[in-house]
Amino acid sequence: MWTNEKDKALRERAAEVIPGGMYGHQSTLLMPEDFPQFFTKAHGTRITDADGNVYIDYMCAYGPNLLGYGQADVAAAVTRQQALADTCTGPGPVMVDLAEAMVGMISHADWAMFCKNGADSTMMALMIARAYRGKRKVLVANQAYHGSMPWNTPRPGGVVAEDRAHIIYFDYNDTQALADAVKEAGDDLAGIFAAPFRHDTFHDQSMPDPEYARVARKLADEHDALLIVDDVRAGFRMTRDCSWETVGVQPDLSCWGKVLGNGQPISALVGNNRAREAASKIFVTGSYWFSAVPMAAALETLRIIRETDYLERMEKAGEGFRAGLVKQAADFGFGLRHTGPATMPIVLFEDDPDFKIGYGFCRAAMKRGVYMSPYHNMFMNAAMTDADLEETLEATGAAFEEIKKNRASLKPSAVLAALADA
Ligand SMILES: Cc1ncc(COP(=O)(O)O)c(C=O)c1O
């Protein structure tokens, strides 16, 4: 029988010793009521919460789980490196191996730098774009998430206008808006940030228009500015290269993180020779940036990416998930939009302006052992099997049945409603 007593008790204790009880995406309380916050185990495709409930996990730690939690080859690489050295006075030879591997796999890359989180990588990209010609203005698409630093965090607390004084916003996939933003930057344009595709929360996802990508490249070149693809979320879930290879456009810099170590803490920034000198001018570091264990994990993850059909398996799982949900929704009389790449879908409902159908559906599925998000893109991983899919669809079928019965009494999320009013 599903229960969340232990999770609730942990939340109460956390409220005493952690500001707000939690920070980051879980602090927003945007997940539906009763979703667990604390987990004790993760293995393959499944996570176990503090109460012992097991879920097939379609959030994959918000991305990092690419090959399955605790994937055996990556775990073995971690154990081998751990026995030698991890965080010490200088990096291990594995740092050079890893930089060579990234440069070998990512077509536009001539060099690589390593850090811990995606936000480190996007911050480095911002600094390098400015160091490149000493210019200041950086273009960012409205609502695109690039991290939680003062220049890009989505919430206003602790941020002053000066932190964003030189950021210009425009609409993704809108070439005219992009051209206007470039015009506004004038001769002070340092860089243009691009998400691989539009993957904003609460929105249908849209793939990049190749023409938009080409225009971004052209405008960056004309203004001697750097084009940056933020592949932190989508990297290696679209292709085995930078995601904009899918539209035939190469950036100067691309940001990586999440999947890189299959869950070990490591991120990266890679770039071309044009940006090399600027990259060597900035001072960036962190006590754990040179730790060898996550680098060994990343080296092994990259080998698996190169040598196996992990991507095709993930795509197959994603297509099965998509087809199954779309059919079930139709069978139960719901309109469902399932957008974005099959490996990173978002699922939104028709006629659901306050998301109460989506929230009700995900909550009903969660209580039956399937962990999904009603407002954020989800993630497939390569460990998913036909049996996982079958079990998932059994649970989602029952969830549809439940919300069909309760449709009239589904309530919008109080947190969402408060946000809409704010
Ligand atoms: C596109 C994108 N860029 C940057 C980041 C920041 O990464 P991190 O949370 O590892 O700092 C994220 C995180 O979700 C992301 O999705």
Could you read off the pLDDT of 69-127 as tens digits, one per residue?
999 999 999 999 999 999 999 999 999 999 999 999 999 999 999 999 999 999 999 99
The residues near 205 (Cβ < 8 Å, ≥ 6 apart) are 197, 198, 199, 339, 340, 341, 344, 345, 346, 377
Residue 117: CB within 6 Å of ligand 1? yes
H-type alpha helices, 265-385: 276-281, 292-307, 310-331, 356-366
Residue with CA nearest ligand 1 atom 3:
146
74 lines ligand 1 (CB under 6 A): no
User: In the structure, what pLDDT confidence band is assigned to residue 18 with cuts at 50, 70 and 90?
Assistant: very high
The per-residue pLDDT for 413 is 80
Ligand 1 near 118 CB (within 6 A): yes
Are the CB atoms for 43 and 71 separated by under 8 Å? no
| Short-list 227, 220, 225, CA closest to 196 | 227
Contact 320, 389 (CB under 8 A): yes
Q: Is the pLDDT of residue 419 over 80?
A: no
Which of 28, 123, 146, 203 maximizes ligand 1 atoms within 8 Å of its Cβ, making it the mutation to test the pocket? 146
For residue 366, the Cα-to-chain-centroid distance in whole angstroms is: 21
| Paired strand residues for 194 | 229
pLDDT at position 335 is 96
**Does 145 sit in the ligand 1 pocket, CB within 6 Å?**
yes
The predicted-structure confidence for 169-222, as pLDDT tens digits, reads as follows 999 999 999 999 999 999 999 999 999 999 989 999 999 999 999 999 999 999
CATH class of the domain defined by 5-69+309-421: alpha beta
CA distance to 139, 237, 262, 295, per residue, from 92 (Å) = 36, 28, 20, 9
Give the pLDDT band (50/70/90) at residue 417: confident
**Dihedral angle sign, alpha carbons of residues 340, 341, 342, 345:** negative
CA 146 to centroid of ligand 1, rounded, Å: 5
Q: Read off the pLDDT of residues 320-345 as tens digits, 9 standing for 90 and up.
A: 999 999 999 999 999 999 999 999 99
Looking at the predicted structure, is the pLDDT value of residue 286 above 90?
yes
CATH 3.90.1150.10 intervals, the chain: 5-69+309-421
Tell which atom from ligand 1 comes closest to the C-alpha of 62: 14
- Mean pLDDT computed over 137-156: 95
pLDDT digits (tens, 9 = 90+) for 26-41: 777 788 889 999 999 9
User: Which residue's CA is minimally distant from atom 7 of ligand 1?
Assistant: 118
How far apart are the C-alpha atoms of 422 and 416, rounded to whole Å?
Answer: 10
What is the best residue among 232, 243, 259, 267 to mutate for testing ligand 1's pocket, by most ligand atoms within 8 Å of CB? 232
Calculate how far, in angstroms, residue 75's C-alpha sits from the geometric centre of ligand 1: 24
Q: Which CATH architecture has domain 93-289?
A: 3-Layer(aba) Sandwich (3.40)
Contact 23, 67 (CB under 8 A): no
In the chain, which residues fall in CATH 3.40.640.10? 93-289
Q: What per-residue confidence (pLDDT) applies to 422?
A: 66
56 touches 365 (CB < 8 A): no
Q: What angle do CA 208, 212, 218 make, to 5 degrees?
A: 135
Predicted confidence at residue 33, as pLDDT, reads 87
